[in-house]
Structure 1
Amino acid sequence: MQPYGDSELKKDLHAAVRTAQELGPDYESEVLDSFLSRLDSRLDANIAVRVQRELGRRQGEDAEAGPGRRGGFGSRFQYFSLVLAIPLSAIGGGTNGLPGLITAWLGIVGVNLAHSWSEAAARRREERLAAGSGRDGWD
């Protein structure tokens, strides 16, 4: 869709305004609602095309990065959590001994599992959108 200079969109708007003027104030809101509904559908289609284009671009970048390397914070999260594990282990073990150390490591493992699951869910969501089956019932 081109910006406001799109002649088809202008024609539709002019036709809706003329129709609303001819039918009078009783039908004005229905005519304008119909135009806005068509405009909304057109915008949705435009957004879907842009999302598909962006997903394709990102998948191309991910393929260039190599298998399992998605880039960004997600690919460095495991290193970040291991760096944080050192002081967390020291604090947990120093204050509560073995139970504190176990608690600290259970927390570290839990956060890593949650992050891993969210990354996998995001990957599945992207794959569904790229395959065109990303409809979620909001249309």
Structure 2
Amino acid sequence: MPDAPLPRDELRATIEARRDLGPEYEPALTDAFLDRIETAIAQRVKAEADSRLPDARHTAWEEQQERKRGLGLALGSLGIAVPLTAAAGATSGMPGMMVAWAGIVAVNMAYAFGRRRRD
């Protein structure tokens, strides 16, 4: 919307109409003029807000990418957990398996807490 001034000519016309029609029409004329003013202000506010707010499609795209990264981390963690558990169990027994799983849990927790901090 162009940055047009509020309708000053309409105010003059409303005042003239009030003189012609009489004081009994003043509330209706005033309400109609104020409605036009409110519409003009709402359009300006919307235009300013639209220019300052991020594009919702871009934000949705970023959220979708974040979900994909989280899914990738979860699947990767499970994929590496099986051979890592087998190797740790075969070489070090239960203590090795616990260390391996502690590392997997730590990576996933670090990702989750980092994600929460960004939100």
* TM-score bracket for this pair, using the shorter chain length: 0.3 to 0.5
Larger RCO of the pair (alpha carbons < 8 Å, separation 6+): 2
Bigger helix share: 2
Looking at CA atoms only, which structure, 1 or 2, has the larger radius of gyration?
Answer: 2
Using structure 1 for the length normalisation, give the TM-score.
0.41
Using structure 2 for the length normalisation, give the TM-score.
0.47
